[in-house]
């Protein structure tokens, strides 16, 4: 079972007062957005990259549920269309720009939110 394996692996995290797990996902994995025919990426939702990100979001939700009785925060972020090897460096954002939201969420502190899915400037992405 994924969740019990995850629990065993992160037991030492439970001892800290400020633990945050930041999962790098993608807005193209949003089932809510992709279910809308008006969503610009709706026609390109397929069984590879978008579906794998939707599956990652489901795993993140399972982790959130498992850890909701702890102080451990779990959040998802989308770096946007970042220039990486995956897209042949054709993205519209640099690595620095793509990492902004990851760093922002990682540094939110113990009073920050949990269970969010955001992109740069704290814009919410629907699950």
Q: CB under 8 Å to 39, separation ≥6 — which residues?
A: 33
Handedness of CA 45, 47, 48, 53 (dihedral sign): positive
pLDDT over 70, % of the chain = 87
Q: pLDDT tens for residues 38-95?
A: 999 899 899 999 999 999 999 999 999 988 888 899 999 999 999 999 899 999 999 9
Residue 2 banded pLDDT, cuts 50, 70, 90: low
The pTM of this model reads: 0.84
Domain residue limits, the chain: 2-124
Residue 17: predicted pLDDT: 74
* Class of CATH domain 2-124: alpha beta
Q: How far apart are CA 27 and CA 78, in angstroms?
A: 6
Q: How far apart are CA 72 and CA 41, in angstroms?
A: 33
């Amino acid at each position: 079972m994924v969740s019990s394996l995850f629990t065993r692996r992160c037991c030492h995290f439970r001892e800290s007062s400020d633990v945050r797990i930041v999962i790098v996902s993608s807005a193209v994995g949003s089932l809510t957005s992709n279910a809308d025919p008006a969503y610009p990426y709706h026609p390109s939702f397929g069984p590879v990259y978008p579906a794998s990100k939707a599956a990652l979001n489901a795993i993140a939700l399972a982790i959130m549920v498992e850890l909701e009785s702890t102080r451990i925060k779990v959040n998802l972020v989308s770096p946007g269309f970042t220039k990486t090897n995956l897209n042949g460096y054709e993205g519209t954002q640099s690595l620095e720009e793509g990492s902004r939201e990851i760093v922002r969420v990682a540094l939110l502190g113990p009073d920050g939110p949990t269970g969010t899915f955001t992109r740069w400037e704290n814009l919410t992405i629907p699950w």
